[in-house]
Structure 1
Amino acid sequence: MARLATVVGMSAQPEITQRDLRNRSREIMDAVQSGQSFTVTRDGHPIGQLVPLRRRRRFVSRREFAAMSKAAPDIDIDTFRADQDATADTCLDDPYAR
């Protein structure tokens, strides 16, 4: 356990062996859950990465939404409509008719 604590404290993404992952999976997954990333190696060569999933926020405050909206690019409505028309299915057939 102390070994992982030492590795987690490093600033660069630490490397763990495939064997470490197998033998200490609970400890390593707990570290990933708390935000730590790892490079997994086999025979001294990197073969993959363990990275925490980004957690999505469900709520954006009105103030934050307004700030994001101010920084958003302007939309030309004619170009937007032309893009929609070019990509939309213009066939009006009944999708349930067989």
Structure 2
Amino acid sequence: MTTQPEITQRDLRSRSREIMDAVEHGQSFTVTRDGHEIGELIPLRRRRRFVSRQDFATMSRHAPSIDAGSFRADQEVASTSETDSPYDR
């Protein structure tokens, strides 16, 4: 396991732009104050909006097969139970 670089609270304050640019590019940091670890700066995981056809095929290769009849039956149950009014009982 790789350890993340430590930065002091003072470093964070004085070099914030440089540090935040590094976080934006995937770098993580452990923030310290008075020699004690107080937090971590980690990049946010970004969700991809577009998945290429090749990536989809690769991800789907090991997906379980779906029984169409069972799927339709599950959808029917879900759709009828969601439209039932709780006040009609």
Question: TM-score interval w.r.t. the shorter chain?
Answer: 0.5 to 0.7
- Of the three residues 9, 16, 30, the one matched with 1:18 is 9
Deviations 1:64-92 (A, max 9, x none): 212212222345737x93xx75xx65641
Gaps of 5+ in 2: none
Q: How far is 1:25 from its partner?
A: 0.8
Normalising by structure 1, what TM-score? 0.61
Q: Percent identity?
A: 67
Normalising by structure 2, what TM-score? 0.66
Distance in 2 of aligned mates of 1:35 and 1:62: 26
1:92 aligns with 2:85: yes
Distance in 1 of aligned mates of 2:58 and 2:22: 34
Report the residue type matching 1:92 in the other structure: S
Distance in 2 of aligned mates of 1:41 and 1:69: 43
Gaps of 5+ in 1: 1-10
Deviations 1:40-98 (A, max 9, x none): 112212111111112222211112212212222345737x93xx75xx6564158xxxx
Kindly report the root-mean-square deviation, in angstroms, between the aligned alpha carbons of the 2 structures: 2.9
